[in-house]
Structure 1
Amino acid sequence: MLTSLMEGLLCCLTTKSANVVVPVETSEPADGYEFVEVKPGRVLRVRHVIPDRPVVEEPTAQGGSVSCKRKITVYRNGQLFIENLGEAASAKRKNGENGKTDDNNAAEVEPADCANCSTPVSVPEARSDAITAGNNGASETGVRVRSPAAEQTDQLQQPRMRRRKPKRTVVIDCERKISACKETHPDVALFFVHGVGGSLDIWGSQLDFFSRLGYEVIAPDLAGHGASSAPQIAAAYTFYALAEDVRLIFKRYARKRNILIGHSYGVSFCTFLAHEYPEQIHKMVMINGGGPTALEPSLCSIFNLPTCVLHCLSPLLAWSFLKAGFARQGAKEKQLLKESNAFNVSSFVLRAMMSGQYWPEGDEVYHAELTVPTLLVHGMHDKFVPVEEDQRMAEILLMAFLKLLEDGSHMIMMECPEVVNTLLHEFFLWEPASSPAPKKESKTRPETAKAPADNAKASSEPVKARPATARQTSSNVGTEENPHSKAKN
C-alpha cells in the first residue's frame, strides 16, 4: 500500500505514468500458447489446444431445424414491439388484403401521446405467434350492453389510438439447423473471451476440462491483459479496436461450427461476432453479461480519475473487486485471483478500457436480430450485473436459456467450475427435436371404405355387418381399436 502511494505521488509530480506498459510476465509453459500479431506492434497471447482425436466418421444426424420468423418494430419514442410470426401470419403480412404488401398494418398502431392520462401507455411486447395491436378490450363487445353515458366516459378516460409510422422495422425470416457438438467432431471450436481486468487464465478450469474431452479450445488475452502487448495510447482500448482484435483471432482459428463463450465485457465481443458471422456461429454462452443495452462510459465513474490517482487506489480497487466478484472472500478466492492473473492490469489500461466502452449499435434491436441459440449463466450474488438485466436479455433473444446459480457471483466460472462445466457441456450436446414428417395417406383407405359397403350389401341384417366392418377397418388401417374386444376383456 505504501509503495503504491509513493509511486502515485511520484507520478503526479513528474507527470509520467507510474506503470510500465509491457506484457505481464508469465510463468506458464510455452506449450499450447501462441503469440499472434493482429496488427503491427499489437501482439496477443492465445492459448490454442488441438487434442488428439480418434478418426471417426462424420455424424449422420442432421440435428433439428428451427424456423425464425419475427418482426421487430421500433417507434420514435423508443418503444420496441416484437412479433414472432407463424406461417399464416407471415403470409398475411406479405400479402395484404388487396394482394399488396401492407407496411402500415395493425401491428404498427401506436398509442398517441396523452398528457392527461392517469396511467402510462406503452406498446406491449409480445412473443406469441399471432399478435394484433389495438384490440384490447374489444373481445367482450357483443356480450355486455353498456349505457351511452358509460361509453362516453370510457372514451374520455382511454388514450386516443392513432396510426404512426414506425422509426425502424426489421423483418427476420431464416431457418437454422442446430446439431449437437461433440468432442469427436473435428469441425467444432470453442472460443473463450474474458472481460475487463481478466486474462485467459480465468478460464483455466474450462480449458482443461474441454480439452481433455477432446474439444479444440481457443482463448486470447485482450490487449493490455495477461501476456499480450499493451499499447500506450487510449485509442487502442476502445470497443471497436478490441472487437477487431477478437474478429481477427476468430477468422484465424474458426471452424465450420464455432461456439462462443464470453464473460462480462467479453459477452459484447461475442455478440458482435454472432452478428457479423451468423452462419459460422453455432451456439453462444453469456456469463454475467448484462442487459441488451448500448454501451456508453459513465461520466461519474471512479475510472475517470487521473492514472496516478488510480494507481494509488489500486489496492482499494483490488479489494473491491474481490468483495463484489466472489460470493465468499477467503484465502481460496485470493489465491484464485493471484493464480489466474485476474485484475492484474496497469492503471492506464484499466482507465482506457472503462472509458472506451462506447458501442451505440449494441441496443435491443441489435440483440433481437440474433438467431443464435444462447445460454445465459448468472450468479445470484453478482454485485456488478443485476439479475434483471440477464432476464431482459433472455426476453429479447430469440432462443435463450437462462440458468441462475445460487452459489456464485461475478466470477462464477472460477467459484463453481464443476457446475459451469456441466452446464456448458450439456448445452453443447443439446439439439432441438426434429419436427416429425407429415404422415402420408395410406393407400388401403379406399379399399377399406369399399369393404364395409360390400359387407353391408351381402348381409341382410345390419347388426351382423357392424362387427365385420369394425374388424375390417382395424385390420386394414391399424389405428382404431375393436370396441367388442374391450368389452370381452
Structure 2
Amino acid sequence: MSSTELPSVLATSVAPKVGAVRVAAGERLRSVGMPGITLTIRSRPPAREGLPSALYVHGLGGSSQNWSALMPLLDGLVDSESVDLPGFGDSPPPDDGDYSVTGHARAVIRYLDSADRGPVHLIGNSMGGAVTTRVAAVRPDLVRTLTLVSPALPEVLVQRSAVPTALLALPGVAGAFTRFTKDWSAEQRVRGVMALCYGDPTIVTPEAFRNAVEEMERRLALPYFWDAMARSARGIVNAYTLGGQHRLWRQAERVLAPTLLIYGGRDQLVSFRMAQRAARAFRDSRLLTLPDAGHVAMMEYPETVATAMRELLADTGELADADATKTDATKTDSTKTGTTKSAGS
C-alpha cells in the first residue's frame, strides 16, 4: 500500500446513528461519510484550543468504546478521538467489503486526510495495533507518536488460546459457530470475551459488565456482525503471511515515530514473549510490561497506560509543559508494572 493509493477525500458530517450505542459522560459521537465508507467517531471536547490530536484504533470485535476509560485521563494533553473501524461499533460495513489490515489502514488514513488532523498521536490495540503500524509506516507524515497495546504482529508459534479467533478466518467457520452458539445468551458471550481478554476479569465492575452485555445484544442483532468478524480475522491471518515490503515486521522497522509498546503478562491472544522482538523492531521504542494485564491494558489499567503516554509525550518534546507529568501522582507504580525503557534509539 503506497501513499499514492490513498488520496485525500472530502469528509462530510452526517447525522449520527446513535441508537443504543453507549456514550459516556463528556463524549460525543458523529458520523463522517466518505466515498465508500462511513466512520463513526467518538470524541471528547478538547480542554483548550491548540492541543495536538490523538486517534485511537480498536481491535478485532472491539469499538471506539474500548478507549472510554483512557481518553479522559489525557484531557488537557491531547484532543482525543477514537474511531469505529468499518463494520464495527456503529460504523457500517465498507462498500467494497475490504476488511483486510490494509483496508482498515486505508480507512484510518482517509479519515485523517479528510479531517486534516494529522500529524496525530496514534494509538492502537491488537488488530488496531497492526493497522496503526501500517499507517505509521506508509504515511509517516500523519503520525507524531505511536502507542501499541498488545499489537497483533505476526507470531510463528501462536498461543493455543488464540487459535479459536484465528479459526474464524476459515470459510464457513463463522456460520458454523453462529449455529452452534445460537442459544448462548449475551451474558455468556461477554463473560467468555472478558475471560479471554482480561488478565483478571473480576476487576470489571457490575456497571461495565451491564454496558458490555447491552452492546453485545445490539451488535448481535446487526446482519453483518459475523461477516465483519470473520473477514477481519481473515485479514489478520493474511497480513501474517505477507512478505516483502508489506510484511508487518518490515513495516515496523520503517516506523519513524517514537513508539510506546505495552504488553500484558497474562495476555492470551498476543504472546508476552513478542515484547522484546517488538522493542527491537521499532527503531525508536520504549517498552512497558504489565505482568498482571491481559490483552486490553487500556481498559484494565488505564491510569498506568495514561502515565506512560504522558511520559512518552514529555520525553519526545510533545508536551508544552513537561513538568506537569512529573508529579508523584502520575508516577508509574513499579509494584504493578515492569520497567519502561528505550530501545533501538
Instruction: Note whether the superposition's TM-score is higher than 0.5.
Output: yes
Between the aligned partners of 2:232 and 2:248, the Cα distance in structure 1 is 20
Alignment gaps of 5+ in structure 1? 1-21, 55-185, 433-489
Name the structure 2 match of 1:428. 313
SS in 1 for 2:307: helix
1:427 & 1:400 partners in 2: Cα distance? 10
- Does residue 332 of the first structure (1) align with residue 204 of the second (2)? yes
Contact kept? 1:45, 1:228, Cα under 8 Å = yes
CA deviations over 1:242-287 (Å, ceiling 9, x no partner) = 2221111121334454211100000111112211222342111010
1:89-168 alignment to 2 at 5 Å?
none
TM-score with structure 1 setting the length? 0.51
1:259 to 2:121 alignment: yes
Q: 1:276 to 1:338 in 2, by over 3 A?
A: farther
Output the amino acid matched with 2:21: T
Q: CA deviation at 1:215?
A: 2.1
Matched, 1:216 2:54: no
Larger radius of gyration: 1
Q: Find 1:241's aligned residue among 103, 116, 119.
A: 103
- 8 Å CA contact 1:326, 1:333 repeated in 2: no
Greater shift after overlay, 342-351 or 324-333?
A: 342-351
Residue 308 to residue 333, structure 1, CA distance change in 2 (3 Å): farther
Is residue 27–residue 44 contact of structure 2 (8 Å, CA) maintained in 1?
no
Over the matched positions of the two proteins, sequence identity in percent amounts to 20
Q: Deviations over 1:137-159 (max 9, x none)?
A: xxxxxxxxxxxxxxxxxxxxxxx
**For residues 329-478 of structure 1, what are the structure 2 equivalents within 5 Å?**
329-330=201-202, 332=204, 335-336=207-208, 338-339=210-211, 341=215, 344=219, 346-357=225-236, 358-359=238-239, 360=242, 361-431=246-316
RMSD of aligned Cα (Å)? 3.3
Q: Give runs of aligned pairs for residues 305-320 of structure 1, distance below 5 A.
A: 305-311=172-178, 312-313=180-181, 315=184, 318-320=190-192
The answer to whether the aligner puts 1:45 opposite 2:40 as a matched pair is yes
Give CA deviations for 1:299-338 in whole Å, capped at 9, x if unaligned. Answer: 9943134443222337476444222211223372675355
**Residues 1:194 and 2:58 are matched in the alignment:** yes
Aligned length: 276
Report the CA distance shift for 1:268/1:334 in structure 2 as closer, same or farther (over 3 A): farther
Aligned to 1:122: none
Q: Work out which of the residue numbers 17, 20, 23 in structure 2 matches 1:25.
A: 20
Contact map agreement 1:25 1:227 (CA 8 A) in 2: no
Large movers: runs of 4+ above 6 Å = 296-300
1:321 aligned to which of 168, 180, 193: 193
Instruction: Name whichever structure is richer in helix by fraction.
Output: 2
Distance, in Å, in 1 between the alignment partners of 2:200 and 2:27 is: 33
Instruction: Call closer, same or farther: CA 1:190–1:244 in 2, change over 3 Å.
Output: same
Question: Is the 2:152–2:270 Cα contact (8 Å) retained in structure 1?
Answer: yes
1:197–1:342 CA contact under 8 A, matched in 2:
no
SS in 2 for 1:224: coil
- Report deviation, 1:292: 5.6
| Distance in 1 of aligned mates of 2:201 and 2:181 | 20
Give the Cα–Cα distance (whole angstroms) in 1 for the partners of residues 148 and 266 of structure 2: 17
TM-score by length of 2: 0.70
| CA contact 2:264–2:297 (8 Å) conserved in 1 | yes
Specify whether residues 400 and 265 from structure 1 end up closer, same or farther in structure 2 by C-alpha distance, changes over 3 A only.
same
